[in-house]
Structure 1
Amino acid sequence: MNYYEHHIGDYAEATAHLTFIEDATYSRLIRKYYATEKPLPNEIKLVQRLINARSKEEKNAVVSVLNEFFTLTDDGWRQERCDHEIARFKDKQLKARRSAEGRWQPLPSDEPQPEITPSNACVRNATAMRTHCSPDTKHQSPVTNLHTPGKQNNGGEKEKIPQGPPTPTDEEKVFQGRIEKYKSFAAMISREGRAIAVDDYRIRDIVNLGVTEDEVAEAIATAKETRMKVSNPTPINAGYVLAILKGARKKAEAASADEDAWWKTNEGIDAKGRELAMKAQGSESYESFKTRIFTELRKRKERAETKEKSNAS
């Protein structure tokens, strides 16, 4: 891509809270993204090298911007808006190519050529599609009894009256629920900050996070409080709210992961031992007890896999 649309208003709203260097870093990252038409490398050092980030402040800005505006995947650091614009660009290219190919594509040799006569004036246009332009084309006479009460077109039988509206499917219910969330979140942000359209991609991203109205309200309050602390009069925007929600979600996921990491604390090791009906032996250290627990877990997993394979065979 040698060209991409830069929506100044959208960009300004999403990046209003960034420092000067972070803003410049984000701009360089998305330009590189569009130029290569693919995600940025997984390794942050390679990303820093790609945009020539040399000083410590510049390198730190790369880390901050990646974590806030990009998502780390197996393919690399992805940016949803960039992916959307690249897909739209490629779709336009494909449609233009197909249109050009179809416009001048000749007819197959075995297809009979239409004769141009007064009674059947068919011609070919540049799209290789037939257009019927005969002045003798007969139109069907209008039927006047189509809307006669209690009648049908074919013989005057009474219409069957539908027994109420059809029950919506589960997919339709889910879709309607998402539409309601779009409207609700857009209204909440518009009331407290900058107005935003229901179909804005940032509203879609907020909905995709699976957050509730309470979480959005809390993020809005956090955004307003943060702006007040630094005496920033700029109204909050959807990009800032989205960034706060993403940060809160990451913290929640990290906290959940820490809770599951039973081996990190003595209390967790004791709890796991009780769960497996295991006890520390005499003056056994927690490190040794933890090793025995891991060994027992591995054995149980192997037994379960062996049993599953035997059942399958």
Structure 2
Amino acid sequence: MNHYPHHIGDFNTATRHLTRLERGLFRDMLDMYFDKEQPLEGADISLLARRLLCHTPEEVAALQFLLGEFFERLDDGRYQNLDCERVIALYRAQQDVQQQVKSNENERQVRSRARRSAIFAALQSLGVHPEGMTKMADLLALCRQHGVTVTETGAHVTPKEGAAGGSAGSGADGVTPAVTARHGDVTGNQNQNQNQNQIPPNPPAGGDGVGLAIASALGVFFPVQRRQRIAEVAELVGDLIQCGTVTGEELLAAAEQQKDKHAEHDGKYCPGMLRWLREKRWLDSAGQPQAEASKGSWRESVAGADQVGRDLGLLGYQEGVDNCAGWRTLGDYVRVIEREMAKREQGVN
């Protein structure tokens, strides 16, 4: 361990009865414990004293007192501290989780690159040549525009209904074969994609872990302090996808599009992931025309409500939340706007 938590109040309370020599020596003992991540080797007290720079009789006596006061002697002669053991166990568990998250992230990026390569190949077969840095949301828009069907494992050109006979590059049945993603080291367009800063991880197809996988992937586009309550986020993602409200791909594409906004002011005004989902913030597309807010759909997104509210002279949604202006959710903000609209209509009439 390179560092460990030191709670000043707890330490002062536990060591208030110690001399200054004993307090300083106790900190050295804790440093050694956490550095080795194991109980102190005390079978040979003189050797332990030497390692802790205890040379005078007073220092050795302080060491022996501290071993009896804060440590338990094990059968093998080592001295164990239960508080230290709890901290080390938590640290190791967190390390395991981080390793697993990193491994999953690497796998998702491999799948995503392969899937992007399949999309590029399908579009290029139709004479469409997007730039290598094109975002996933824009690629999906091109696919819809040109009749390319995108699946969880690849992409293929959707055959037109009533097409007679085969066409160039088609099979005997007139259907263009599906271009599927491969998991090999090199894919057709991997070189033009490998320099992207962040590629939206590809959600797996089906399974009970879909919500958790997509929730973990969404976290890439949120500040660290906003990646809270991941279990609830995963459950809500699963419910939204299952009921058809939104797809995993749409969530990831929207989050990627909003990542720069989320990072502004060190994430101070970025909503938590759970709130982002509950308030349907994925609808706040960066490329959404401002005119959309004036339509009846303004109630469905923060961007739309924010514009209408500002037009009425109200604080913006997030600004109002931060300053306790009377709303905490999008629904509250919408009701405030509607009341303000009603007041103005009555004044006009």
What's the TM-score, normalizing by structure 1?
A: 0.37
What's the TM-score, normalizing by structure 2?
A: 0.34
Q: Which has the larger radius of gyration?
A: 1
